[in-house]
Amino acid sequence: MKLFETEYLFAHPWCTLTLANWQKYPNQYSSHVLSVDVLDRSVDPETGILTTERLLCCKQSAPALLRRILPIPEVAYFREISYLDPRSQTYTAISTNLSMRSFINLEEKCEYKADPEHPEGKTVFTQQAAVSAMGVLSYGAKLVEESAVNSFHKNAARGRQGLETIVEKLVEEAKAVEQGFKDGLETHLRKGNMGVPEP
């Protein structure tokens, strides 16, 4: 078994990061993610926790040697279950592979949590992954696990960059809406028309 873990501090509020996360794909840094489909979504009326099930389709990259050893498909499918808790300001997503389960098990856990020291301005992101290859020779298993962990390392940084671009887009859109509202309000004030009829 191979393990991967990383932590990163985003200089954005938790609510902004979680909103951006839903709009993360497609982006220029995560071109390996081909599609994301929502399978189910529900809100617990007592806790307010939003639970979402999604199916992700990703293009696979694997060393040529591995492709000669194993029948690795061009694309792989992953099932993601996420829990968004607005009260504790925590978003947790757990993904497992659906493809190639007879050869390898992948489990990834990502968490966005409001930074306790800066709850209104920063978000702590943690990512953990466990990779276990099965049913192949020990040398082959080692190659499979190392290849998967290398992919996590490479895609982790790209994933953060992609999320940053979505945050920037959301912030610009919010500024445009705010400016449009402000311009419209100022126009009404200059005309002396607030929509209230004079007595």
Residue pLDDT, tens place only, 48-87: 999 999 999 998 776 666 666 667 778 989 999 999 999 9
Q: Report yes or no on 130 lying in a domain.
A: yes
SS3 track for the chain: CEEEEEEEEECCCHHHHHHHHHCCCCCCCCCCEEEEEEEEEEECCCCCCEEEEEEEEEECCCCHHHHHHCCCCCEEEEEEEEEEECCCCEEEEEEEECCCCCCEEEEEEEEEEECCCCCCCCEEEEEEEEEEECCCCHHHHHHHHHHHHHHHHHHHHHHHHHHHHHHHHHHHHHHHHHHHHHHHHHHHHHCCCCCCCCC
- Model pTM score: 0.80
Domain holding 177, by residue range, is: 2-190
What's 133's domain CATH number? 3.30.530.20
| Inside any domain, residue 199 | no
Question: What is the per-residue pLDDT for 174?
Answer: 83
Within a domain: 113: yes
Q: Is residue 197 part of a domain?
A: no
Residue 45's pLDDT is what?
A: 96
Domain membership of residue 139 (yes or no) is yes
- Structural domain count, the chain: 1
Does 198 fall in a domain? no
Positions in the chain short of pLDDT 70: 1, 62-70, 135-144, 192-199
Say if 196 falls within a structural domain. Answer: no
